[in-house]
Amino acid sequence: MTAAKILVLPGDGIGTEVMAPAVAVMQAAAAAVDCPLDIDEGLVGGVAIDATGSPLPEATLAAAQAADAVLLGGVGGPKWDHLPMSERPEKGLLGLRQALGLFANLRPALLFGPLAEASSLKAELVADLDILIIRELTGGIYFGEPRGVEQRDNERVGFNTLVYAEHEIQRIAKVGFELAQKRGGRLCSVDKANVLEVSALWREVVSAMHVDYPDVELSHMYVDNAAMQLVRAPKQFDVIVTGNMFGDILSDVAAMLTGSLGMLPSASLSASGVGMYEPVHGTAPDIAGQNKANPLATILSVAMMFRYSLDQPLAAERIEQAVAKVLAEGYRTGDIANADDADHMIGTREMGDRVLEQLG
């Protein structure tokens, strides 16, 4: 069996800290299912700017293009906040998404039973929560042209463009319908069709595709209502499909329902099957370097990598079960701890060790 090529990009802030335990878990899970891995490491984001002057060095891009899967920690931090938009660490991440054609971003919000108390909502509202947000990732207002800031008359004017072509809507909606078929059979498409032409087109295109998926129950919701419904009655959702910026915002909301942004993994997939896997949380500069960060979002991202890029569902399940056991035993990093968890509070490295132990 040829080894799967994995590119590890720790990035900045807590990205480097959560990556070490995640890579250890990846190696242990791969060994358990006899899946040889060829792991390489590269630079992206602020550390890449410091070392090479670019947030996405050519060597990193080439390695990512040659890899079967990319595992990324996070990018950005106050050190680089003064840079102009086009030179910031975030450009490294956005450049990778675009260059690899990672148009489908899967952000599952799954509540592990023992964490119901850590949610900002009442436990009964989130018990057994299991929703999947599918965010379009290479189009919309993040990449639309024209964009910029220019002088008009006596003042500066900033502008961006929210644009979606039919084929972009169709390919992300297809992912939505197909994943809904594999899950609870319900798809909610989120837009702002009461105001935006691009959203009216989005709604029309998604609706037209429904005939091919008669077994899926399709609904549409305006994004403001969707934000409200997510905190009012989140269990009404199964799969949500939406554009780039709405998905960015709603996935942070959904993350918090599950207790902490520190728990949420994500997968970004291309048409060709290359995938990039990253925690939804950022680089958390306030706790960076203190062994406090929760590595579980990255560890769960590794599970998604085994499932979606390496076709090793067993390895994925083993990792997810190990995480569930560690949480059931009461171990907590600071972000998911209550007052009564004081004696089970552990750090980043220790949390990684507990998961490794459970993997056996």
Interacting residue ranges for Mg ion, rule: CB under 5 A: 248
The interface partner of residue 90, options being Mg ion, ligand IPM, none and the CB cut-off 5 to 8 Å by kind, is: ligand IPM
Residue whose CB is less far from Mg ion, 136 or 248 = 248
Give ∠ CA 260-93-63 in degrees, rounded to 5: 120
Least distance to Mg ion, CB of residue 172, Å:
17
Please choose, out of 89-97, 111-119, 192-200, 311-319, the segment that lies near ligand IPM by the rule CB under 6 A: 89-97
Instruction: Compute the least distance from the CB of residue 116 to ligand IPM, in Å.
Output: 24
Rounded Cα distance, 25 and 349, in Å: 12
* 295-to-6, 116, 260, 332 alpha-carbon distances in Å: 19, 19, 12, 11
Residues marked as catalytic: 142, 192, 224, 248, 252
Ranked by CB distance to ligand IPM, the top (closest) residue is: 90
- Residue 335 binds to ligand IPM (criterion: CB under 6 A): no
Can the peptide bond before residue 265 be classed as cis, meaning omega within 30 degrees of 0?
A: no
Q: Which of 40, 41, 87, 90 binds ligand IPM (CB under 6 A)?
A: 90
How far is it, in rounded angstroms, from Cα 354 to Cα 192?
Answer: 44
Among residues 305, 296, 199, the alpha carbon closest in space to that of 255 is found at: 296
Q: C-alpha 280: how far from its chain's center?
A: 4
Residue 101 CB burial class (10 angstroms; 0-12, 13-18, ≥19): middle
Stretch that binds ligand IPM, among 88-96, 179-187, 205-213, 223-231 (CB under 6 A): 88-96
Binding mask 140-169 for ligand IPM (x = CB under 6 A): ------------------------------
Q: Which is nearer to ligand IPM, 168 or 341 (CB)?
A: 168
Question: CB 340 → ligand IPM: shortest distance, Å?
Answer: 32
Q: Shortest distance, CB of residue 217 to ligand IPM, whole angstroms?
A: 28
Provide the minimum distance between the beta carbon of 267 and ligand IPM in the complex, in angstroms, as a whole number. 12
Q: What is the DSSP letter of 345?
A: B
Residue with tokens 């399940």: 317
Interacting partner of 93 out of Mg ion, ligand IPM, none (Cβ under 5 to 8 A depending on kind) = ligand IPM
What's the half-sphere exposure (Cβ side, CA atoms, 13 Å) at 287?
19
Q: Which is nearer to ligand IPM, 78 or 113 (CB)?
A: 78
Using CB distances below 5 to 8 A depending on partner kind, what does residue 279 bind out of ligand IPM, Mg ion, none? Answer: none
Q: Which residues in 111-208 belong to E strands, given as ranges?
A: 130-136, 148-152, 155-159, 186-191
Is 257 a binder of ligand IPM (CB under 6 A)? no
| 30, 63, 93, 303: residue in contact with ligand IPM (rule CB under 6 A) | 93
Under rule CB under 6 A, how many of the chain's residues touch ligand IPM? 5
Strands 186-191 and 217-222 turn out to be parallel
Applying CB under 6 A, the span of 90-98, 163-171, 303-311, 317-325 interacting with ligand IPM comes to: 90-98
To ligand IPM, the closest distance from the beta carbon of 90 in angstroms equals 4
Written as six digits, the tokens of 286 are 């306030």
Question: Is position 248 an interface residue for ligand IPM (rule: CB under 6 A)?
Answer: yes
CB atoms within 10 A of CB 79: 15
Tell me how far apart the alpha carbons of residues 193 and 182 are, in angstroms, rounded to a whole number: 27
Give the helix ranges, DSSP H, for 162-238. 166-182, 197-209, 223-232
CB of 128 to Mg ion, least distance (A): 25
Query: Binds 68, which of ligand IPM, Mg ion, none (CB < 5 to 8 A, cut-off by type)?
Result: none
Q: What is the helix, strand, coil percentage profile of the chain, to 5?
A: 50, 20, 30
Contact residues for ligand IPM, defined by CB under 6 A:
76, 90, 93-94, 248
